[in-house]
């Protein structure tokens, strides 16, 4: 069985052959990876702080705000401002969200801040990893266009949208690898 990053790399190579960098924003972690010409992982970096910036972080914060995670982009259209979050740790950020609610901030404006915080965390990792060429975003969080736009604003390089549902990238890569020849090329 292939690991998730190998599967993401294989999907990137097959569906986006010009891509050399990918950031997979999954449910529990953020992983930046350098994709080789044959779809192999040359190097990678995972987030070093719990699940902050991941799908789980976004899920916990939206639940605390009593907002649905599905349709987040449409909901954020009603935001009038972005309430800043200063903490990246999920536990401290949750406490900060409660404080903002108690201070009368609108939940949708706080959620805009949560999305900005996720974009900031993801792009910071991308910069630490050295992403400087064509890249894509995969994983469930890459479905949230508000977050994708925030990452694109903060990250150098040429963004290419994953052409299918980015949440399925690892599964698509696993299918490609299972069909690959003995040399492992996709």
Give pLDDT tens digits along the chain (186 positions): 359 999 999 999 999 999 999 999 988 889 999 999 889 999 999 886 666 777 888 888 888 888 888 888 998 988 899 998 876 666 677 778 888 988 999 999 999 999 999 999 899 999 998 888 899 999 999 999 999 999 999 998 899 999 999 999 999 999 999 987 534 555
Q: How far is CA 174 from CA 3, 31, 149, 181, in A?
A: 9, 17, 28, 13
Q: Where in the chain is the domain with CATH 3.30.420.40?
A: 55-117
Q: How far is CA 144 from CA 63, 73, 120, 152, in A?
A: 16, 6, 14, 13
Alpha-carbon gap, residue 3 to 17, rounded angstroms: 20
Quote the pTM value: 0.88
CATH ID of 4-50+130-179, from 3.30.420, 2.40.350, 1.10.3470, 3.40.50: 3.30.420
CATH ID of 55-117, from 2.30.30.110, 3.30.420.40, 1.10.287.130, 3.40.190.100: 3.30.420.40
């Amino acid at each position: 069985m292939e690991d998730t990053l190998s599967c993401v790399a294989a999907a990137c190579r097959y569906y986006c052959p010009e891509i050399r960098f990918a950031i997979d924003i999954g449910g529990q972690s953020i992983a930046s990876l350098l994709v080789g010409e044959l779809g192999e992982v040359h190097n990678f970096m995972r987030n070093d702080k719990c699940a902050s910036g991941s799908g789980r972080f976004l899920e916990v914060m939206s639940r605390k705000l009593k907002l649905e995670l599905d349709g987040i982009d449409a909901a954020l259209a009603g935001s009038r401002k972005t309430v800043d979050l200063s903490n990246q740790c999920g536990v401290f950020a949750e406490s900060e969200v409660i404080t903002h609610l108690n201070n009368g901030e609108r939940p949708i404006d706080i959620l805009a801040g949560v999305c900005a915080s996720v974009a900031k965390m993801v792009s910071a990792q991308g910069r630490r990893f050295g992403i400087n060429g064509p890249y894509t975003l995969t994983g469930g969080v890459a479905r949230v266009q508000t977050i994708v736009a925030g990452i694109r604003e903060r990250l150098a390089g040429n963004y290419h949208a994953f052409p299918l549902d980015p949440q399925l990238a690892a599964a698509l890569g696993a299918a490609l690898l299972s069909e690959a020849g003995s040399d492992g090329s996709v």
